[in-house]
Amino acid sequence: MHRRSFLASALGALAAPKRPMNVLFVVSDDLTSTALGCYGHPLVQSPNVDSLARNGTRFDRAYCQYALCAPSRASFLTGLRPDTTKVLTNGPDFRDFIPNHVTMPQLFKNNGYAAIREGKMFHMGVPGTVGTAQWQDAASWSHNGSPQGKEHNSKGTGGNFTPHIGAGVAMQFLRTADASEQADFDAANRAIAHLEKHRNDPFFLGLGFVRPHVPWVAPSEYFDRYPLSKIKLARNPADDLADIPKIVTETMPNTSFNMKMNGDQQMESLRAYYASISFMDDQLGRVLKTLDRLGLRDNTVVVFQSDHGWHLGEHTFWQKRSLMEESAKVPLIISAPGQRSRGKVCRSLVELVDVYPTLAGLCGLTPPANLQGQSVQPLLDNPNKAHKDAARTQLTTPKVDGRAVRTADFRYIRWKFGAETAEELYDHRKDPGEFTNAASKPEYAKELERHRALV
């Protein structure tokens, strides 16, 4: 090539505009990190989540800000803590309290992106409002899609181990033959269509899977992957609840004491939960395969997370709405083009409120100045880098205010109810299962005082 032609070609390449970074933001509902292969579960089959972890950063100590769907989702989608959004139950709309705040998808929409929702992003009652746009905040999206699913009305065989509890909390499962009747299958189909449509446009695709939220509905083949003979129940000390404040079980009346299920019913519940995870994972895999087929992976940030954790019999608790590790800790995986470290585990403390500023930074956007999280972008290059001294989770009822602080080695929980206060302190260096409440032990007095100041 002639020297002049070569220089012109080089200058033209340098002047070529950089493509905006896309985002695929995936949220799985009620998924605990302890039930994924990449987080160490010996039985659960989650190959697509595991593959994503191998191609990104797996955060081993990521925490939600509220262990309930609506408050947690309002928090991480606004980048604000629950005390600021004022969403403290599964009901209020954050717009009633902060009407002009720019949400995470709205920031992308305002910057020329196709901001697409398919599935549960903000709160959605499962199974009651699956397939509707209730609570999904139209201002946040340029496309506001609600995948359809028959949930427990699908054809199949199943059961309900807790008929004394209403739908959406009841331990109900259904083995079905038709995957196409499920909202997660429809959500994946819709996401694939959006990727095809917007392959040449900048997009923020929010993909919300409802599984493994109860009722556990999945094709029979997913149940068959988990023979009951291989399933093991949580192991708790006989006196596990003896040193836990009474207010804890009173705050969780329907989900404590194994929800009145016997051992066989608990094993069936575990199998149904695992089956739902594998079904969800397969839908994720179909979307990721399309991302690769279209050549979009090199220009798309992929985030996979849950809205909060989930108890699977630890401390005799099931489901969410506790302030202990299993309920507060969440799976969080971020895979970003150009990150220097892949397949590594980050053990720095991070929070879901950090995701909004992280995605804004990765995509070169300026987020609102009032965000209350801190970008984890530096951890994608150096997962050993320090990030935060503490992660905070809260839980409230009309009469109880619960606050938890997770530090490097401890979990501290403070309960206030009326004029009374109760405390829990767990030393994760010796007691990672949080079986021994050390709050009253003299040797922990200094740590107790230090954590009181952090709550």
In a domain, 420, yes or no: no
**The domain that contains 71 carries what CATH number?**
3.40.720.10
Q: What are phi and psi of 352, to 5 degrees?
A: -65, -25
Look up the domain containing 118 and give its range.
20-388
Check: CB of residue 189 under 8 Å from CB of residue 287: no
Quote the pLDDT of residue 19. 83
In a domain, 443, yes or no: no
Query: In a 3-state reduction of DSSP, which class is residue 198?
Result: coil
Check: CB of residue 274 under 8 Å from CB of residue 44: yes
Query: In a 3-state reduction of DSSP, which class is residue 15?
Result: helix
Residue type, 403: R
In a domain, 1, yes or no: no
Torsion of CA 172, 177, 183, 187, to 10 degrees: 140
Using a 10 angstrom Cβ sphere, with 0-12 exposed, 13-18 middle and 19 or more buried, the burial of residue 227 is exposed
Half-sphere exposure of 51 (CA within 13 A, CB side): 13
Residue type, 19: R
Alpha carbons 176 and 174: distance in angstroms, whole number: 6
Quote the pLDDT of residue 91. 85
With 0.75 as the threshold, say if the pTM is over it.
yes
Query: In a 3-state reduction of DSSP, which class is residue 229?
Result: helix
Name residues whose C-beta falls within 8 Å of residue 266's C-beta, 6 or more positions apart in sequence. Answer: 233, 258, 313
- Bridge partner list, 27: 208, 305
Alpha carbons 353 and 176: distance in angstroms, whole number: 36
Name residues whose C-beta falls within 8 Å of residue 129's C-beta, 6 or more positions apart in sequence. Answer: 135
CA angle 393, 402, 325 (to 5 degrees): 45
In a domain, 49, yes or no: yes
Alpha carbons 434 and 21: distance in angstroms, whole number: 41
In 44-165 the beta strands, taken as DSSP E runs, fall at 57-63, 114-119, 143-145, 156-160
Using a 10 angstrom Cβ sphere, with 0-12 exposed, 13-18 middle and 19 or more buried, the burial of residue 208 is buried
Q: What percentage of the chain's residues is helix, strand, coil (to nearest 5)?
A: 35, 20, 45
Helix (H) or strand (E) holding 425: strand 420-427
CA separation (Å) from 362 to 107, 135, 376, 394, 398? 13, 28, 10, 28, 39
The one-digit pLDDT tens for each residue of the chain (455 residues) are 454 544 444 444 444 457 899 999 999 999 999 999 999 999 999 999 999 999 999 999 999 999 999 999 999 999 999 999 999 999 899 999 999 999 999 999 999 999 999 999 999 999 999 999 999 999 999 999 999 999 999 999 999 999 999 999 999 999 999 999 999 999 999 999 999 999 999 999 999 999 999 999 999 999 999 999 999 999 999 999 999 999 999 999 999 999 999 999 999 999 999 999 999 999 999 999 999 999 999 999 999 999 999 999 999 999 999 999 999 999 999 999 999 999 999 999 999 999 999 999 999 999 999 999 999 999 999 999 999 999 999 999 889 999 999 999 999 999 999 999 999 999 999 999 999 999 999 999 999 999 999 99
In a domain, 260, yes or no: yes
Q: What are phi and psi of 402, to 5 degrees?
A: -115, 135
DSSP 349-396: -EEGGGHHHHHHHHTT----TT------HHHHH-TTS---S-EEEEEE
- Count of CB atoms within 10 A of residue 131's CB? 17
Check: CB of residue 321 under 8 Å from CB of residue 226: no
CA angle 249, 255, 257 (to 5 degrees): 65
Quote the pLDDT of residue 234. 97
Q: What are phi and psi of 413, to 5 degrees?
A: -130, 130
Q: How many residues does the chain have?
A: 455
Q: How many domains does the chain have?
A: 1
